[in-house]
Amino acid sequence: MDLAPLPAPLHLRPLRIRPVPSSSAIIEMQRFLADKTATRVLSGSGASAIKEALVRLVKRLEQEQLEASSAAGAQVESNSSSSEKGKKRKVTELVSDSTKDKKRSKKHKKA
């Protein structure tokens, strides 16, 4: 099966491949699937399987986009909370250093 020759249209190589943001790809695929051209293009044997595969692809892209945006939001929250913890730690370190300095100065005054 892996060694089977590809159909002629799959032998074509595009002259220029450009990456498309997934949000734009989702919108364009949804437009294509909702349009009449999709039914004309995807007519014939195996058309329903191709259309179902495209629908699954769009759903997966939407899911990945949601996961990526929620992961980015969670990372921002964790970064802000860790920076707040760092600030609190620095403040407590400064306070403890100042109390140590006071204790040292009292020892020097007694001596």
Q: Give residue-wise pLDDT tens across range 1-36.
A: 456 665 555 555 666 767 777 778 888 888 888 888
Q: What is the DSSP annotation of 12-67?
A: ---S------HHHHHHHHHHHHHSHHHHHHT-STTHHHHHHHHHHHHHHHHHHHHH
Predicted local distance difference test score (pLDDT) of residue 8: 56
Distance (Å, rounded) from C-alpha 40 to C-alpha 79?
50
* pLDDT of 79 over the 50 cut: yes
Domain ranges, ordered by start, for the chain? 22-110
Residue type, position 75, single letter: Q
Q: How confident is the model at residue 40 (pLDDT cuts 50, 70, 90)?
A: confident
Predicted local distance difference test score (pLDDT) of residue 1: 45
